[in-house]
Structure 1
Amino acid sequence: MSGGAQAQQMSDEQVVQYVKNAQQMGKNQKQITAELMRRGVTKEQVERIREKYESSKSENAEGRTSDANKNRSRQRKEQQKKETKGLRSISKVTYPVKQQDGMVMEEDSLLWEDRASFRMEEDPTQQIYGHNIFTNERLTFEPNVNVATPENYCLGPGDEVIIDVWGASETTIRQTISPEGSIFINNLGPVYLNGKTVKEANNYLKQEFARIYSGVTGNVPSTQVKLTLGEIRSIQVNVMGEVMVPGTYTLSSFASVFHALYSAGGVNKIGSLRSIKVMRNGNTIADLDVYDLLMKGKMKDDVRLQDGDVILVSPYLSLVQILGKVKRPMFYEMKPTETAGALLKYAGGFTGDAYKKALRIIRKSGREHQIYNVDEMDYSVFRMDDGDQVTVDSVLRRFENRVEIRGAVYREGLYQLDGTVNTVKQLIKKAEGVRGDAFLNRAIIDRELEDLSHEIVQVDVKGLLNGTIADIPLQKNDILYIPSIHDLKEEATLTIHGEVANPGTYLYSDKMTIEDLVLQAGGLLEAAATTKVEVARRMKDPKSTTFSNTVGTSFSFDLKEGLLIGAGSGDFYLEPFDEVYIRKSPSYHVQQNVMVGGEVLFGGSYALSKKNERLSDLVAKAGGVTPDAYVKGARLIRKMTEEELRRKADALRMAQMGGSDSISVKKLDLSDTYSVGISLEKALQNPGSDDDMVLRDGDMLFIPEYVSTVKINGAVMYPNTVSYKKGESYRYYINQAGGFGNGAKKRRAYVVYMNGTVSRVKKWSKTAIEPGCEIIVPSKDARKKMSPGEIIGLGTSAASLATMIATMVNLFK
């Protein structure tokens, strides 16, 4: 469908609703613009919609005559502002200027809303104080009509008056003052109220009603007459000069100057808040200063307006910026007679870290810049000029009366240099005295000189406290350091190794024994030996002048029931930096488990009872094999030790450095277990022989059932699995796989048996092939990629091994 057809389908109401929905979904103005353009909406249509909504807002504003109506009108205004927000933005966008490859290309432009957001995010120091008072959405100057009618309120055409008569006669008259200024009362005719205040109108009505009610006048009137206001009239005032939207505004007759400025959007960037004039019949009846409201909360100067009043906002006379350490740094409007002191008052005064003794003022003299340094005594007399920039500096980052004490005292920190703290002895006393570990023979004072260099002053604190030497006066920024005896030597530690709960390094304490250190380390482990506990002590002789071959001294002890026995002394104390070794008991062994599965009577996990336990012992523990067991095909799966894992990692790393076949090596690294070729049949026939292999922790023995197939893999035409036929030669099984493949190494073929052993085969051998074995024929070029058959073969072998391991693990859970 064409763009024109789409434009006809979207009415103005549909465009407005689309913009509202898109804004609720969080879309930005550029996205909304692009989508409306794709739907065929033109710039002219958007302009038409915007003008309609703007005119609708003006009509609503003119119709506000009561407090409720004003609130509703303001809400409508805000809602329409949201609805036309996107439309105003879209109408300011540069529409497409060219088309390329079927894509519409737009010129970059700053949207109206983007510019508004930019203004909102301006630096506060660049804003003018008070200029946002009439644009704050949370602040309204709309008059309150829900109050008693002021007696000085001046009646005029459009005001509704309510005249209540009660007493001897009772009636209520409710009329609106006509454009001629009168109301019509039966039996009296026209009564003119225009220009009278409420008080004057009440006195006047009593005189008029006395003509038809005899009891209205007299010392004791029997009939009362009272005039009150109903609906109030609207007035028109002109707001001129430096405001955001100058013009004529229809307002409530209760409206004031501030309400008129609020309706006009407040003053613009050059508008004055200090001199807002109200003109009535060509005369100035008021000159308002908004700063009185902002600074003092005074509303008494907010003059109530009358029909035809003119509010004139002039340009500012003097605008001054204050920066730095004041509470409210920004631009302020100053009167010609106001001084720097008034500016500081407007800015909220100094902050706590301000330098209050002087101000720095940069002034534009009309030809060049001038700088003034105004002292504190001149703040109240130095007058400000337009364009002045005032800067309040911060205090210097230094102290004029600080001294500091550190080290072995009870209260380290900063202290005031005054009448009570002037010397080293007074400072130590102020810090609650020296601690017991203080080194009193020598302390130091780090003193800052006039040229900001430093010198060290030695202090004999012991003599100073005893009174044997004179006290030392302190100077500004002195730092007294009294060292601890522990600070002057290496921190003493003890180290314990071996079979304790928490081996490691611990702080040294006097008269500490081995048992004390063992307790700190969490006690002995179950594997710990209480004999042959060794203590290694370092050699030290600070006064030695010769080389020594002795690098340490060792002591050996036995621990028994918490007592230390050995080396001829029961009072052996550890010394700093001793290292204690708790050995593992040679007779301590944790349980070592092996597993047996498959065709045995009682498969499962068994603990080794001796170090040289063998395959035949394990089968015997399992109750022997079943009649269906294929003993010849039994396989042993062994878990790698830490040393084997390390060697395997080294081998893999070297293989990766070797070149092209490193990836294939990685692929063969399937697990941390490996198969051990065994002959269980011979082991059971000759227990204790070399065939009867010794077991170790983690071994898994699997005795399968009889398998009546043979696998042929590798460089053959079609890798296959066929039935085993006793007496058939190796050549027979190769033919069952379609014969040798291209590049097959026929003389290098080998057989992998079920028990994990591997054997080379000859062409006409009839005894090499056994049930369950696998024949593998390698390729001539080992570097070439494996054929699909070889990949299938290796995958099948690996899968078989992995399946067997998984089966045994699940079996013994």
Structure 2
Amino acid sequence: MRAILNVAQLLCVSQFALLWFAALFLWIATPVFALDEENDFSLQPGDVLYIGFPGEAGFNQAFVLDANGKIDLPELGPFKISGQKLDAAEAKIRKLMALVFKGTERLNVSLKARNLLIQVLGYVAQPGQVTAPASANVQSAIQLAGGLLPGAQLDRFQIQRGGRTIEFNYKDYLDSGDAQVLPELQSLDILFIPASPLTGNVQIDFDAATLSATGDAADDKKSFRIFGEVVSPGRFALKDGYSIVDAIMRAGGVTRYAGVEQIKIISGARPITFNLKTYLETGDERLMPPVQPGTTIFVPIQEEEIKTGSNVVYIMGEVFKPGAYENKPEATLLDILANAGGPTRFAESRQMRILRSDGSVTPFDLQAYTEGLSQSVLPVIHAGDAIFIPEKTDTNEASWLKVPPSRAIKIIGQVYNPGRYEWSDEMSLLDIIAHAEGPTARADTANIRIMGPDGRGNTVSQVFNLEHFFDQGGNIADLPVIRAGYTIVVPELPQDPSDNKAQWVRQSREKSIYIMGQVGAPGRYMFNDKLTFLDILSAANGPTANADLHRIRIVHRNGSAAHMTELNLALYFQTGDETLLPIVKPGDSIFVPEKNGSWLDRPKEEMIRVIGAVNNPGRYEFDGEMTILDLLAQAGGTTEGAYLNKLVVVNASCCASRSVAFDLEAFMKMPDFSTLPVLRPGDTLFIPAKQDSDWRIFMEGVSDVFKLISIVAIIGVL
């Protein structure tokens, strides 16, 4: 039998040894990131460390450095090790673990994998944080985020790193396969993929080929416009080395009606006429002008007789019949516009330009002139001048920067459509707010802030009470003067502090009132001269069930010195006397104490002390309508050992203190309320115990004498 047991024990030990060696083999076989020199790099977020610690179940596994560079170990919690070499990180881990574990010499720390934590945002299928290998590039990160969505703008990818933005052209990489054009990724990079501005402000499925046929420009500063007799007029991206022929080919070529001998090119302030026919016949590259960013190309319709010469005026842009017209000396700008059919519905008639033959440019606001708002006269048109009417800015495009700051105004905050709008001096504050679709339900219209330059390089601001203007009315001339370049901020009303306390910091102290203690939602609340004490108490969800309504305190801080008033709200609810309610102003503080709260916060002059043989001795509130009987009842009544024949009342007054004895037992037999002692706040009521009475002391003395006589008698008998 003993032999069998020995064999069983040997088998158990062998199995244990086999399991130990298997675990050791798995630990050794765990894949670990290997470099020739492990300490040639610093740890970064996303790296994976294998921490082996035999005998501890929470270890012997991989741990990942989070986005803050911290590692979370059992019993130690998270601590930062990013930026350190591997041996320095291992020393720090070993030092911290020695505070909690023993045998840290068995600890083994090794680098299992190097990863990158990358935020992939924007026009991808699954935006968010991805974990990529250290060797991953931009394309790998995009694939981990689900790939690009149709409509992503490939030439304007961004990497945001440490407060700076790196912009690169992903399309070049897809065209060439050259990975050198892609910036290397670093951990905690933010890879942002923008949407093409051609998709508009509403995300929809679209045919990219059809959409790009009308233009593919993403930036006004790097594009050119071509219109007239071409297959696909529009705005197109400008590539390096583009010529006028390349631009025409990008627009699908000219139509059969094109007047290729009179192609107009406006680059800068001077128009150029290009004869495509002569270039095709001679091949002279010197005849072909370059295309600059912002260039406008107009291909006119072919006419039986091309109008050229010293009497021709050109009109182009958003008119119904652009072209070249014979100019007569008596013809005005309106005559020429009428001859061209007038501006179209897409014309930006406020930004007309007359390109003079001498290279100068004359701006003209046709809309203001027709409305009688402009004091200027019609500009004189000379032979050789070109009249250009640009296209109206489309607010649905991301290219709202086409409106320069000198003609724009910004409105932000609580309006339904904040943004940047074109401004005209005949507009008012009400116009721009209406243009932004009006204030939202959360708008604080009583504190609209208007900021603008003062002409000396500084920004000044003023506050306008639009709510008062709406309620009381007023003269339109009283509205603040708005100029182009100004910024209008419509602030948000503060939220309920119980919902979002972070909103408190955005609320002005001068317009706030504080309420704390036993109310449903204590905090800071917006307050104005229309609100009362009950309004602010209701805003805080009213007093709780534990609130002491008899002694609510209000600290007034709006005068030269702070002072406190006390309110008996229960008395107000009993009488309805409005004069009991205090007047509160912004900056005041309201405190609703707890019922049966600590008596230490009440001065002794307002309390009565009850001590001695009562069930609940202590300090109690007392008013002029209460008697000693009420006080005893509030203290839980007297105990069984109370000596009721001599209750002592100690009266405290301003001049001297005195004590009065009261026989409660005699009062109970023959009640006479006129004999009840007078009590005032600050007094003390003492109820002695029977063992402290004179009769009890006397009887105990007599008992001792009889005990002594009995002892003497017993001794005498003995």
Structure-1-length-normalised TM-score: 0.26
Q: Name which one, 1 or 2, has greater alpha-carbon Rg.
A: 1
Structure-2-length-normalised TM-score: 0.28
